[in-house]
A and B are shown apart, each in its own frame.
Chain A
Amino acid sequence: MTMVQDRPPGQIIETDVVIIGAGPVALFAVFELGLLDIRAHLIDILDKPGGQCAELYPEKPIYDIPGLPVVTGQELTDRLMEQIKPFDPTFHLNERVDEISKHDDGRFLLKTDVGTCFLTKVVVIGAGGGSFTPKRPPIDGIEAYEGTSVHYSVRRMEVFRDKNILIVGGGDSALDWTLSLQPLSKSLTLLHRRDDFRAAPHSVEKMREMVAAGDMRLMIGQLSCLHGNDGLLESVTVKTKEGEERLPVDTLLPFFGLTMKLGPIADWGLNLEENLIPVDTEKFETSEPRIFAVGDINVYPGKLKLILSGFHEAALMAQKAHKYIYPDKKLLFQYTTSSSSLQKKLGVR
Protein backbone atom coordinates (compact mmCIF):
# COMPACT_ATOMS: atom_id res chain seq x y z
CA MET A 1 0.00 0.00 0.00
CA THR A 2 1.21 3.44 -0.84
CA MET A 3 0.44 6.45 1.33
CA VAL A 4 0.98 9.70 -0.47
CA GLN A 5 2.00 12.64 1.65
CA ASP A 6 3.80 15.76 0.49
CA ARG A 7 3.49 15.74 -3.27
CA PRO A 8 4.20 18.91 -5.26
CA PRO A 9 0.86 20.50 -6.20
CA GLY A 10 -0.18 20.76 -9.81
CA GLN A 11 1.01 17.30 -10.82
CA ILE A 12 -1.53 15.22 -12.77
CA ILE A 13 -1.93 11.56 -11.87
CA GLU A 14 -3.21 9.35 -14.69
CA THR A 15 -5.02 6.19 -13.68
CA ASP A 16 -7.82 3.78 -14.51
CA VAL A 17 -9.93 4.28 -11.39
CA VAL A 18 -10.22 6.90 -8.70
CA ILE A 19 -12.33 6.02 -5.67
CA ILE A 20 -13.71 8.98 -3.75
CA GLY A 21 -13.73 8.04 -0.08
CA ALA A 22 -11.84 5.33 1.79
CA GLY A 23 -14.66 3.89 3.90
CA PRO A 24 -15.23 0.13 4.24
CA VAL A 25 -17.09 -0.08 0.93
CA ALA A 26 -14.38 1.83 -0.95
CA LEU A 27 -11.79 -0.50 0.57
CA PHE A 28 -13.63 -3.59 -0.57
CA ALA A 29 -14.07 -2.03 -4.02
CA VAL A 30 -10.25 -2.02 -4.22
CA PHE A 31 -10.40 -5.79 -3.74
CA GLU A 32 -13.05 -6.47 -6.36
CA LEU A 33 -11.36 -4.17 -8.88
CA GLY A 34 -7.99 -5.69 -8.07
CA LEU A 35 -9.20 -9.19 -8.92
CA LEU A 36 -10.00 -7.79 -12.37
CA ASP A 37 -6.52 -6.23 -12.75
CA ILE A 38 -7.66 -2.70 -12.03
CA ARG A 39 -5.51 -0.65 -9.64
CA ALA A 40 -7.11 2.18 -7.73
CA HIS A 41 -6.27 5.53 -6.20
CA LEU A 42 -8.37 6.47 -3.16
CA ILE A 43 -8.93 9.98 -1.84
CA ASP A 44 -10.34 10.76 1.61
CA ILE A 45 -10.54 13.94 3.65
CA LEU A 46 -9.92 11.89 6.81
CA ASP A 47 -6.35 11.25 7.92
CA LYS A 48 -6.95 7.48 7.92
CA PRO A 49 -8.84 4.81 5.97
CA GLY A 50 -12.05 3.24 7.31
CA GLY A 51 -14.67 5.99 6.97
CA GLN A 52 -17.41 5.89 9.60
CA CYS A 53 -16.08 2.63 11.08
CA ALA A 54 -12.71 4.17 11.91
CA GLU A 55 -13.85 7.70 12.75
CA LEU A 56 -17.18 7.26 14.52
CA TYR A 57 -17.07 3.84 16.16
CA PRO A 58 -13.59 2.25 16.09
CA GLU A 59 -14.15 0.48 19.43
CA LYS A 60 -17.78 -0.55 18.95
CA PRO A 61 -18.83 -4.03 17.81
CA ILE A 62 -20.50 -4.83 14.47
CA TYR A 63 -22.48 -8.07 14.44
CA ASP A 64 -23.73 -8.33 10.87
CA ILE A 65 -20.64 -8.81 8.74
CA PRO A 66 -21.07 -12.24 7.15
CA GLY A 67 -18.64 -14.74 8.62
CA LEU A 68 -17.43 -12.43 11.39
CA PRO A 69 -19.78 -12.90 14.36
CA VAL A 70 -18.33 -9.82 16.02
CA VAL A 71 -15.79 -7.31 14.83
CA THR A 72 -15.12 -3.70 15.89
CA GLY A 73 -15.10 -0.80 13.44
CA GLN A 74 -11.32 -0.54 13.60
CA GLU A 75 -10.78 -4.30 13.33
CA LEU A 76 -12.93 -4.46 10.22
CA THR A 77 -10.92 -1.60 8.72
CA ASP A 78 -7.64 -3.32 9.58
CA ARG A 79 -8.82 -6.59 8.06
CA LEU A 80 -9.96 -4.91 4.87
CA MET A 81 -6.59 -3.15 4.64
CA GLU A 82 -4.89 -6.51 4.97
CA GLN A 83 -7.19 -8.08 2.38
CA ILE A 84 -6.44 -5.41 -0.25
CA LYS A 85 -2.69 -5.31 0.34
CA PRO A 86 -1.90 -7.44 -2.75
CA PHE A 87 -3.52 -4.82 -4.97
CA ASP A 88 -1.30 -1.99 -3.72
CA PRO A 89 -3.82 0.85 -3.79
CA THR A 90 -2.58 4.43 -3.44
CA PHE A 91 -4.14 6.48 -0.64
CA HIS A 92 -4.38 10.25 -0.80
CA LEU A 93 -5.48 11.18 2.71
CA ASN A 94 -6.34 14.61 4.15
CA GLU A 95 -7.59 15.61 0.70
CA ARG A 96 -11.11 16.38 -0.41
CA VAL A 97 -12.28 15.95 -3.99
CA ASP A 98 -13.79 19.30 -4.92
CA GLU A 99 -14.32 19.12 -8.69
CA ILE A 100 -15.05 16.56 -11.37
CA SER A 101 -15.13 17.58 -15.01
CA LYS A 102 -15.12 15.78 -18.35
CA HIS A 103 -11.81 15.86 -20.20
CA ASP A 104 -11.70 16.16 -24.03
CA ASP A 105 -10.77 12.49 -24.45
CA GLY A 106 -13.74 11.23 -22.42
CA ARG A 107 -11.81 10.73 -19.21
CA PHE A 108 -12.61 12.61 -16.02
CA LEU A 109 -10.49 15.30 -14.45
CA LEU A 110 -10.68 15.36 -10.65
CA LYS A 111 -9.29 18.13 -8.50
CA THR A 112 -8.75 18.10 -4.74
CA ASP A 113 -8.77 20.97 -2.26
CA VAL A 114 -4.98 20.94 -2.14
CA GLY A 115 -4.64 21.01 -5.91
CA THR A 116 -3.89 17.37 -6.76
CA CYS A 117 -5.33 16.45 -10.17
CA PHE A 118 -6.30 13.04 -11.49
CA LEU A 119 -7.13 11.97 -15.02
CA THR A 120 -9.14 8.77 -14.82
CA LYS A 121 -11.25 6.52 -17.03
CA VAL A 122 -13.66 5.57 -14.27
CA VAL A 123 -14.78 7.26 -11.05
CA VAL A 124 -16.22 5.34 -8.11
CA ILE A 125 -17.97 7.50 -5.54
CA GLY A 126 -17.81 5.80 -2.15
CA ALA A 127 -18.46 8.97 -0.21
CA GLY A 128 -20.81 7.54 2.44
CA GLY A 129 -22.63 10.33 4.25
CA GLY A 130 -20.32 12.91 2.67
CA SER A 131 -17.03 14.49 3.71
CA PHE A 132 -16.13 14.42 7.37
CA THR A 133 -16.02 18.05 8.50
CA PRO A 134 -15.41 19.61 11.92
CA LYS A 135 -18.53 20.26 13.98
CA ARG A 136 -19.45 23.89 14.38
CA PRO A 137 -20.61 24.84 17.89
CA PRO A 138 -24.19 26.11 17.58
CA ILE A 139 -23.33 29.60 18.88
CA ASP A 140 -25.10 32.56 17.30
CA GLY A 141 -22.97 34.47 14.82
CA ILE A 142 -19.97 32.13 14.89
CA GLU A 143 -19.90 31.98 11.05
CA ALA A 144 -18.83 35.63 10.89
CA TYR A 145 -15.55 34.81 12.63
CA GLU A 146 -14.67 31.64 10.75
CA GLY A 147 -11.39 31.79 8.88
CA THR A 148 -10.37 34.99 10.67
CA SER A 149 -10.68 34.38 14.41
CA VAL A 150 -12.33 30.95 14.60
CA HIS A 151 -10.44 27.95 13.24
CA TYR A 152 -11.45 24.28 13.24
CA SER A 153 -8.06 22.96 12.25
CA VAL A 154 -4.46 24.09 12.22
CA ARG A 155 -2.75 24.11 8.86
CA ARG A 156 0.01 26.62 9.63
CA MET A 157 1.08 27.15 13.24
CA GLU A 158 2.68 30.54 12.50
CA VAL A 159 -0.81 32.04 12.10
CA PHE A 160 -1.20 31.63 15.86
CA ARG A 161 1.96 33.39 16.97
CA ASP A 162 1.39 36.06 19.67
CA LYS A 163 -2.34 35.41 19.78
CA ASN A 164 -4.57 35.16 22.81
CA ILE A 165 -5.92 31.71 22.15
CA LEU A 166 -8.90 29.83 23.52
CA ILE A 167 -9.01 26.11 22.75
CA VAL A 168 -12.26 24.27 23.54
CA GLY A 169 -12.59 20.51 23.94
CA GLY A 170 -11.28 17.55 25.89
CA GLY A 171 -10.08 15.10 23.26
CA ASP A 172 -6.72 14.53 21.61
CA SER A 173 -7.04 17.38 19.10
CA ALA A 174 -7.76 19.92 21.83
CA LEU A 175 -4.91 18.68 24.05
CA ASP A 176 -2.36 18.20 21.26
CA TRP A 177 -2.92 21.71 19.93
CA THR A 178 -2.82 23.13 23.44
CA LEU A 179 0.64 21.66 23.90
CA SER A 180 1.85 22.71 20.44
CA LEU A 181 0.47 26.24 20.33
CA GLN A 182 1.14 27.35 23.91
CA PRO A 183 4.85 28.12 23.29
CA LEU A 184 4.12 30.54 20.47
CA SER A 185 0.93 32.08 21.83
CA LYS A 186 0.71 35.28 23.83
CA SER A 187 -1.72 33.56 26.16
CA LEU A 188 -3.55 30.27 25.98
CA THR A 189 -6.63 29.00 27.77
CA LEU A 190 -8.06 25.51 27.48
CA LEU A 191 -11.79 25.29 28.13
CA HIS A 192 -13.56 22.00 28.76
CA ARG A 193 -16.93 21.22 30.30
CA ARG A 194 -15.52 18.93 33.01
CA ASP A 195 -12.20 18.26 34.70
CA ASP A 196 -11.89 14.89 32.97
CA PHE A 197 -10.32 14.42 29.58
CA ARG A 198 -10.71 11.80 26.86
CA ALA A 199 -7.28 12.67 25.49
CA ALA A 200 -4.20 10.51 26.00
CA PRO A 201 -3.17 10.61 29.68
CA HIS A 202 0.38 11.79 28.99
CA SER A 203 -0.84 14.92 27.15
CA VAL A 204 -3.30 15.65 29.95
CA GLU A 205 -0.45 15.35 32.44
CA LYS A 206 1.73 17.71 30.39
CA MET A 207 -1.11 20.20 30.18
CA ARG A 208 -1.56 20.11 33.95
CA GLU A 209 2.16 20.72 34.41
CA MET A 210 1.92 23.78 32.19
CA VAL A 211 -1.04 25.04 34.19
CA ALA A 212 0.86 24.51 37.45
CA ALA A 213 3.84 26.41 36.04
CA GLY A 214 1.56 29.32 35.16
CA ASP A 215 2.15 28.98 31.41
CA MET A 216 -1.50 28.55 30.53
CA ARG A 217 -4.95 28.48 32.05
CA LEU A 218 -7.44 25.61 32.33
CA MET A 219 -11.07 26.62 32.65
CA ILE A 220 -13.95 24.28 33.42
CA GLY A 221 -17.09 25.55 31.77
CA GLN A 222 -18.83 26.05 28.47
CA LEU A 223 -18.71 28.61 25.73
CA SER A 224 -21.91 30.62 25.48
CA CYS A 225 -21.34 33.82 23.50
CA LEU A 226 -18.84 35.48 21.15
CA HIS A 227 -18.12 39.21 21.06
CA GLY A 228 -16.28 41.18 18.38
CA ASN A 229 -16.54 43.23 15.22
CA ASP A 230 -15.97 42.70 11.50
CA GLY A 231 -15.04 39.06 11.90
CA LEU A 232 -12.48 39.86 14.56
CA LEU A 233 -13.07 38.26 17.91
CA GLU A 234 -12.46 40.40 21.01
CA SER A 235 -13.79 38.25 23.82
CA VAL A 236 -16.04 35.32 24.67
CA THR A 237 -18.47 34.60 27.46
CA VAL A 238 -17.85 31.38 29.33
CA LYS A 239 -20.41 29.81 31.63
CA THR A 240 -18.82 28.20 34.67
CA LYS A 241 -20.20 26.75 37.89
CA GLU A 242 -19.54 30.09 39.57
CA GLY A 243 -21.36 32.09 36.94
CA GLU A 244 -20.37 33.86 33.76
CA GLU A 245 -16.93 35.12 32.88
CA ARG A 246 -15.89 37.31 29.99
CA LEU A 247 -12.55 36.19 28.62
CA PRO A 248 -10.55 38.45 26.28
CA VAL A 249 -9.31 36.30 23.37
CA ASP A 250 -8.71 36.96 19.69
CA THR A 251 -8.46 33.36 18.49
CA LEU A 252 -10.84 30.47 19.09
CA LEU A 253 -10.19 26.82 18.25
CA PRO A 254 -13.23 24.60 18.97
CA PHE A 255 -12.61 20.83 18.77
CA PHE A 256 -15.93 19.00 18.96
CA GLY A 257 -15.24 16.11 16.62
CA LEU A 258 -16.34 15.53 13.06
CA THR A 259 -19.65 15.12 11.32
CA MET A 260 -20.54 14.13 7.75
CA LYS A 261 -21.65 16.78 5.29
CA LEU A 262 -22.45 16.06 1.62
CA GLY A 263 -20.01 18.79 0.58
CA PRO A 264 -18.83 19.33 -2.99
CA ILE A 265 -20.68 16.28 -4.39
CA ALA A 266 -23.77 18.49 -4.74
CA ASP A 267 -21.98 20.53 -7.41
CA TRP A 268 -20.90 17.70 -9.69
CA GLY A 269 -23.94 17.77 -11.97
CA LEU A 270 -25.11 14.29 -10.94
CA ASN A 271 -28.76 13.55 -10.27
CA LEU A 272 -29.39 13.68 -6.53
CA GLU A 273 -32.29 12.47 -4.42
CA GLU A 274 -32.25 13.93 -0.92
CA ASN A 275 -28.47 14.15 -0.90
CA LEU A 276 -28.05 10.61 -2.23
CA ILE A 277 -26.99 9.51 -5.69
CA PRO A 278 -29.50 7.32 -7.55
CA VAL A 279 -27.96 4.31 -9.29
CA ASP A 280 -29.17 1.24 -11.17
CA THR A 281 -28.97 -2.10 -9.38
CA GLU A 282 -27.12 -3.96 -12.10
CA LYS A 283 -23.93 -1.89 -12.25
CA PHE A 284 -24.45 0.80 -9.61
CA GLU A 285 -23.73 3.45 -12.22
CA THR A 286 -24.94 7.05 -11.81
CA SER A 287 -26.71 9.30 -14.31
CA GLU A 288 -23.25 9.88 -15.80
CA PRO A 289 -21.77 6.80 -17.54
CA ARG A 290 -18.38 5.72 -16.09
CA ILE A 291 -19.20 7.32 -12.74
CA PHE A 292 -20.34 4.72 -10.20
CA ALA A 293 -21.64 5.18 -6.67
CA VAL A 294 -21.41 2.46 -4.00
CA GLY A 295 -22.13 2.26 -0.27
CA ASP A 296 -24.06 4.72 1.88
CA ILE A 297 -23.97 7.51 -0.73
CA ASN A 298 -26.17 5.72 -3.29
CA VAL A 299 -29.89 5.04 -3.37
CA TYR A 300 -32.11 2.58 -5.27
CA PRO A 301 -35.36 0.81 -4.51
CA GLY A 302 -34.84 -1.30 -1.39
CA LYS A 303 -31.48 0.27 -0.48
CA LEU A 304 -30.18 -0.58 2.99
CA LYS A 305 -27.29 1.43 4.40
CA LEU A 306 -25.37 -1.63 5.49
CA ILE A 307 -21.74 -2.49 4.97
CA LEU A 308 -22.63 -5.87 3.51
CA SER A 309 -24.88 -4.29 0.88
CA GLY A 310 -22.04 -1.97 -0.07
CA PHE A 311 -19.72 -4.96 -0.55
CA HIS A 312 -22.18 -6.54 -2.99
CA GLU A 313 -22.52 -3.25 -4.87
CA ALA A 314 -18.74 -3.02 -5.19
CA ALA A 315 -18.53 -6.50 -6.76
CA LEU A 316 -21.08 -5.71 -9.48
CA MET A 317 -19.63 -2.25 -10.10
CA ALA A 318 -16.21 -3.79 -10.76
CA GLN A 319 -17.60 -6.00 -13.55
CA LYS A 320 -18.85 -2.99 -15.49
CA ALA A 321 -15.75 -0.90 -14.73
CA HIS A 322 -13.72 -3.71 -16.30
CA LYS A 323 -15.71 -3.34 -19.54
CA TYR A 324 -14.84 0.35 -19.66
CA ILE A 325 -11.19 -0.08 -18.84
CA TYR A 326 -10.48 -3.21 -20.92
CA PRO A 327 -13.15 -3.02 -23.66
CA ASP A 328 -11.51 -5.82 -25.67
CA LYS A 329 -10.99 -8.29 -22.83
CA LYS A 330 -13.56 -10.98 -22.09
CA LEU A 331 -14.27 -11.54 -18.40
CA LEU A 332 -14.34 -15.13 -17.25
CA PHE A 333 -16.30 -15.68 -14.05
CA GLN A 334 -13.97 -17.28 -11.50
CA TYR A 335 -13.81 -18.28 -7.85
CA THR A 336 -10.92 -17.24 -5.63
CA THR A 337 -11.00 -20.78 -4.22
CA SER A 338 -10.20 -22.49 -7.47
CA SER A 339 -8.74 -19.98 -9.90
CA SER A 340 -4.97 -20.13 -10.03
CA SER A 341 -4.83 -16.79 -11.82
CA LEU A 342 -6.87 -15.05 -9.09
CA GLN A 343 -4.73 -16.72 -6.43
CA LYS A 344 -1.61 -15.47 -8.16
CA LYS A 345 -2.95 -11.91 -7.99
CA LEU A 346 -3.67 -12.43 -4.30
CA GLY A 347 -0.14 -13.68 -3.71
CA VAL A 348 -1.32 -17.14 -2.58
CA ARG A 349 1.47 -19.68 -2.63
Chain B
Amino acid sequence: MAKITFIQPDGSKQVVEATVGQTVMEAAKLENVPGIEAECGGACACATCHVYIAEGWREKTGAPSEMEEDMLDFAFDVRTESRLCCQIKVTEELDGLIVQVPAKQF
Protein backbone atom coordinates (compact mmCIF):
# COMPACT_ATOMS: atom_id res chain seq x y z
CA MET B 1 0.00 0.00 0.00
CA ALA B 2 1.02 3.58 -0.63
CA LYS B 3 -0.70 6.78 0.43
CA ILE B 4 -0.94 9.39 -2.31
CA THR B 5 -2.07 12.96 -1.71
CA PHE B 6 -3.82 14.86 -4.48
CA ILE B 7 -3.87 18.65 -4.06
CA GLN B 8 -6.55 20.53 -5.97
CA PRO B 9 -5.96 24.00 -7.46
CA ASP B 10 -7.98 25.49 -4.55
CA GLY B 11 -5.60 23.87 -2.07
CA SER B 12 -7.93 21.11 -0.86
CA LYS B 13 -6.32 17.73 -0.26
CA GLN B 14 -7.45 14.16 -0.75
CA VAL B 15 -5.45 11.18 0.41
CA VAL B 16 -5.89 7.99 -1.59
CA GLU B 17 -4.76 4.47 -0.66
CA ALA B 18 -3.07 2.99 -3.70
CA THR B 19 -2.13 -0.63 -4.24
CA VAL B 20 1.34 -1.51 -5.50
CA GLY B 21 1.13 -2.34 -9.20
CA GLN B 22 -1.76 0.05 -9.88
CA THR B 23 -1.04 3.28 -11.69
CA VAL B 24 -1.45 6.60 -9.90
CA MET B 25 -4.26 7.39 -12.38
CA GLU B 26 -6.13 4.18 -11.48
CA ALA B 27 -5.84 4.93 -7.79
CA ALA B 28 -7.22 8.43 -8.41
CA LYS B 29 -10.09 7.24 -10.60
CA LEU B 30 -11.16 4.59 -8.07
CA GLU B 31 -11.57 7.37 -5.49
CA ASN B 32 -13.07 9.85 -7.99
CA VAL B 33 -10.35 12.45 -7.54
CA PRO B 34 -11.66 15.54 -9.38
CA GLY B 35 -9.64 16.78 -12.34
CA ILE B 36 -8.18 13.39 -13.28
CA GLU B 37 -10.22 12.67 -16.39
CA ALA B 38 -8.21 9.88 -18.00
CA GLU B 39 -10.34 9.72 -21.14
CA CYS B 40 -8.22 7.04 -22.81
CA GLY B 41 -8.21 4.74 -19.81
CA GLY B 42 -4.46 4.85 -19.28
CA ALA B 43 -3.18 4.21 -22.79
CA CYS B 44 -1.02 7.34 -22.84
CA ALA B 45 -3.24 8.62 -25.63
CA CYS B 46 -5.19 11.56 -24.21
CA ALA B 47 -3.12 13.64 -21.72
CA THR B 48 -6.16 14.24 -19.49
CA CYS B 49 -4.46 12.63 -16.46
CA HIS B 50 -1.86 15.41 -16.25
CA VAL B 51 -0.45 16.19 -12.77
CA TYR B 52 2.45 18.09 -11.24
CA ILE B 53 4.76 16.07 -8.99
CA ALA B 54 5.58 17.86 -5.72
CA GLU B 55 9.11 18.94 -4.81
CA GLY B 56 11.21 16.09 -3.50
CA TRP B 57 9.27 13.35 -5.28
CA ARG B 58 10.49 13.80 -8.81
CA GLU B 59 13.44 11.49 -8.46
CA LYS B 60 11.25 8.69 -7.16
CA THR B 61 8.61 9.03 -9.88
CA GLY B 62 11.28 9.38 -12.55
CA ALA B 63 11.15 11.24 -15.85
CA PRO B 64 8.56 10.76 -18.57
CA SER B 65 9.37 8.33 -21.38
CA GLU B 66 9.62 9.61 -24.94
CA MET B 67 6.04 8.49 -25.64
CA GLU B 68 4.82 10.34 -22.56
CA GLU B 69 6.77 13.49 -23.55
CA ASP B 70 5.07 13.39 -26.94
CA MET B 71 1.68 13.07 -25.27
CA LEU B 72 2.49 15.91 -22.85
CA ASP B 73 2.44 18.17 -25.93
CA PHE B 74 -1.33 17.80 -25.71
CA ALA B 75 -1.54 18.91 -22.08
CA PHE B 76 -2.01 22.48 -20.92
CA ASP B 77 0.49 24.49 -18.85
CA VAL B 78 3.18 21.83 -18.91
CA ARG B 79 6.04 22.31 -16.44
CA THR B 80 9.25 20.45 -15.63
CA GLU B 81 7.33 18.64 -12.86
CA SER B 82 4.58 17.51 -15.25
CA ARG B 83 3.68 13.83 -15.61
CA LEU B 84 0.80 11.85 -17.03
CA CYS B 85 -0.18 9.90 -13.95
CA CYS B 86 -1.38 6.84 -15.89
CA GLN B 87 2.30 6.30 -16.64
CA ILE B 88 3.39 6.20 -12.99
CA LYS B 89 3.28 2.73 -11.42
CA VAL B 90 2.64 2.69 -7.68
CA THR B 91 5.50 1.18 -5.66
CA GLU B 92 6.21 0.99 -1.92
CA GLU B 93 8.74 3.75 -2.53
CA LEU B 94 5.97 6.12 -3.55
CA ASP B 95 4.23 5.90 -0.16
CA GLY B 96 3.57 9.52 0.80
CA LEU B 97 3.69 10.85 -2.77
CA ILE B 98 2.17 14.30 -3.25
CA VAL B 99 0.84 15.45 -6.61
CA GLN B 100 -0.92 18.60 -7.69
CA VAL B 101 -3.92 18.49 -10.02
CA PRO B 102 -3.73 21.23 -12.69
CA ALA B 103 -6.36 23.95 -12.92
CA LYS B 104 -7.45 22.65 -16.31
CA GLN B 105 -7.08 19.49 -18.29
CA PHE B 106 -7.40 20.05 -22.02
Considering the complex, give the chain A residue whose CB is closest to the CB of B41: A305
User: In terms of DSSP, what is the predominant structure of the interface of chain B?
Assistant: loop
Instruction: Identify which of A60, A196, A198, A222 contacts B43 (C-beta below 8 A).
Output: A60
The list of the 8 closest CB pairs from A to B, nearest first, reads A138-B104, A57-B45, A56-B45, A198-B70, A257-B74, A170-B73, A193-B78, A138-B76
With beta carbons under 8 angstroms apart, the residue of B39, B74, B78, B104 that contacts A222 is B78
| CB of A345 within 8 Å of the partner chain | no
Interface residues on chain A, size class:
10 to 19
Given the complex, which residues of B lie within 8 Å of A198, measured CB to CB? Answer: 70, 73
Kindly list 17 other residue pairs between chains A and B, CB separation below 8 angstroms, not including A56-B46, A259-B106: A56-B40, A60-B43, A60-B45, A135-B106, A137-B76, A138-B76, A138-B105, A138-B106, A170-B73, A193-B72, A193-B73, A196-B69, A222-B77, A256-B73, A256-B106, A259-B39, A259-B46
User: A171 at interface (Cβ–Cβ under 8 A)?
Assistant: yes
**How many pairs of residues, A versus B, come closer than 8 Å at their CB atoms?**
39
CB contacts (< 8 Å) of B70 on chain A: these are: 198
A57-B106 in contact given A169-B73, A193-B73, A198-B70 (Cβ < 8 Å) = no
Interface size on B, residues (CB 8 A): 16
CA–CA, A57 and B71, complex, Å: 12
The answer for the CA separation of A222 and B76 in the assembled complex, in Å, is 8
Give the complex CA separation of A135 and B47 in angstroms. Answer: 12
Q: Which of B57-85 contact A (CB under 8 A)?
A: 69-70, 72-74, 76-78
